Structure 1
Amino acid sequence: MWTSSIISQSINFVLENLYYLSGIALFIIGIKQINIITTQSKVTNRREAVTLTSQLSEKFYKELVPLVDEIEFYLIENGIDISKDLRDFAKASKNKVVVNESTFTKIMEILSDDETFAKKYLYLTNQFEAFSTNFVNGVADTDLAYKIIGKVYCEEVIIIFPLIVLCNDENTEMYTEITELYTNWRSLIIKEEAEKNFNEAKENVVKPFKTIGV
């Protein structure tokens, strides 16, 4: 596996040889060797990114989604309508999350009264942040991940928006990786939906009848 140190050592080795050897032809050969090393590095990094994306996607469905379901079931039992109070209202930008005020108050009351639930809720939020970091910082393949989990991610992550609101104010920014990934993927979803609606509208336009001999 090509690591950054191995790549650096290989490039230095080539350049040192070039320093002691003369001739244009040898210099060109050295440049080609550097290009080969760089290309191999990119291929390796690409494979690693794809592998990591696959592993993270599997973790998302096997670990995070069940945790979301558990939290969601608990909130429903405590009188919170997830679809109406959270999913239909929630909004986010790269620096801000907005939720229904009454829903926020209800969830804060639950967090105050139930320490076990509060720990699970915080754990889920931290897991989402760690998960999102891989894509926001380009460690994993964001485009591939969006195709696999993008829409489900945007549905599920909203469950923790109230806690993100609680942890942020004018002087504090926390869980920014979650809000940035959500914003990016949500904008793609909106764009795809708009294009789909536009294409459907075009297909449904009634074409004028063509008459012959009139």
Structure 2
Amino acid sequence: MDAFNSFLATIKPLIELLYFIASIGLAFFAYLGLQQIAILKSTAATQAKRDALRLTSEQCAIYMDKIIAGQNDFNKHLKAANITWFEGWNIEIQGKEVRAHRNTPQNMQNLSKLDIGHLNQMEAFSVYFVSRLADETVAYRTVGKTFVNHMDKVMPFVLTARKDGYFQNMVTLYVTWKARAEAERLVFEQKEINSKLSKLNSVSGTASPIGSEFG
């Protein structure tokens, strides 16, 4: 028994050394594993961004090639068929809710002859951005203004159709882009006002009072 205890005492430092080395090895491999996970996450995020930008580019190309042509045809049809129902509406946005009202009677004449195929295309276009599969901030800089301008015109019709479950994504994207366009307009107007005020202050600050030259 004494011999066995002596043997254990002899090899104990070696066992402790091996345990220490093993701990360092485990920590090292754990560190490498964490580094690999970070690299994989970064690669996945980069790939996801590339995919989103590619999809954004594709959808903007479809918008400019097909949807704008459909919008132009729609406007031409309104004029040719003398459809005035879309005129005279006031559009209000409160939070995420959109309302349309008018003070004049509605003229429903020839409204049933409308071709709204381009609105279906706009809804399909909107799905990619509302679901965040594509980058709506990039798309806004490309087609945002024409999207908002057309929606301003057709929104009363879209809201009527939305009651039946249609055009949900299109309205959501409109609210986002309309708010952004309005904010940009206000910023521009503020800069214009500040510029005019600066010029007026410059003039009023350097002009001498009338009669001051006569001491």
Under TM normalisation by the shorter chain, which class is it?
0.7 to 0.9
Quote the residue 2:185 is aligned against. Answer: 193
Task: Specify the alignment match of 2:70 in structure 1.
Answer: 67
Alignment of 1:92-131 (within 5 A): 92=93, 94-98=96-100, 100=102, 105-107=106-108, 109-112=109-112, 114=113, 117=114, 120-121=115-116, 123-131=117-125
In structure 2, what is the Cα distance between the partners aligned to 1:68 and 1:101?
26
DSSP 3-state at the match of 1:98:
strand
Q: Is the 8 A contact 2:85 2:111 kept in 1?
A: no
* Pair 1:211–1:204, CA change in 2 (3 A): closer
- 1:152 matches 2:146: yes
On the 8 A contact 1:95/1:176 being kept in 2, the answer is: no
Query: Is 2:28 the counterpart of 1:25?
Result: yes
Separation of aligned partners in 2, 1:82 and 1:147? 30
Residue segments in structure 1 that go unaligned for 5+ positions in a row:
1-21
Task: Give the gaps of 5 or more residues in structure 2.
Answer: 1-24, 209-214
1:174 aligned residue (157, 160, 166): 166
Q: Which residue of 1 aligns with 2:205?
A: 209
Post-superposition offset of 1:161: 2.4
Q: Normalising by structure 1, report the TM-score.
A: 0.73
Larger radius of gyration: 2
Corresponding letter in the other structure for 1:165: L
CA contact (8 A) 2:84 2:107 kept: no
Residues 83, 161 of structure 1: CA spacing in aligned structure 2 closer, same or farther, 3 A cutoff?
closer
Question: What amino acid is aligned across from residue 156 of structure 1 in structure 2?
Answer: H
Distance 1:61 1:92, change over 3 A: farther
- Please report the TM-score for the alignment, with normalisation by the length of structure 2: 0.73
**Aligned with 1:209: secondary structure?**
helix
Q: Which secondary structure does the structure 2 equivalent of 1:167 belong to?
A: helix
Residues 17-39 of structure 1: per-residue CA shift (max 9 Å, x gap):
xxxxx611110100110110110
User: Does the CA contact (< 8 Å) of 1:95 and 1:173 recur in 2?
Assistant: no
- Counterpart in 1 of 2:79? 76
Aligned CA RMSD, in angstroms, stands at: 2.7
Q: 1:160 to 1:202 in 2, by over 3 A?
A: closer
In the aligned structure 1, how far is the partner of 2:93 from the partner of 2:168? 11
Letter in 2 for 1:199: K
- For 1:90, the equivalent position in structure 2 comes to 91
Cα distance in 2 between the residues matched to 1:85 and 1:66? 24
Which 10-residue stretch deviates more, 53-62 or 156-165?
156-165
Preserved contact between residue 92 and residue 179 of structure 1 (Cα < 8 Å): no
Gap change, CA 1:99 and 1:74, over 3 Å in 2: farther
Inter-partner Cα distance in structure 2 for 1:101 and 1:187: 24
Instruction: Point out the more displaced range, 142-151 or 155-164.
Output: 155-164
Measured against aligned partners, the alpha-carbon deviations of 1:178-207 in whole angstroms (never above 9, x if no partner) come to: 111111111111111111111111111111
Name the structure, 1 or 2, with higher relative contact order (CA <8 Å, separation 6+): 1
Percent identity for Structure 1 against Structure 2: 19
Q: Is the 8 A contact 1:99 1:161 kept in 2?
A: no
What is the aligned residue count?
180
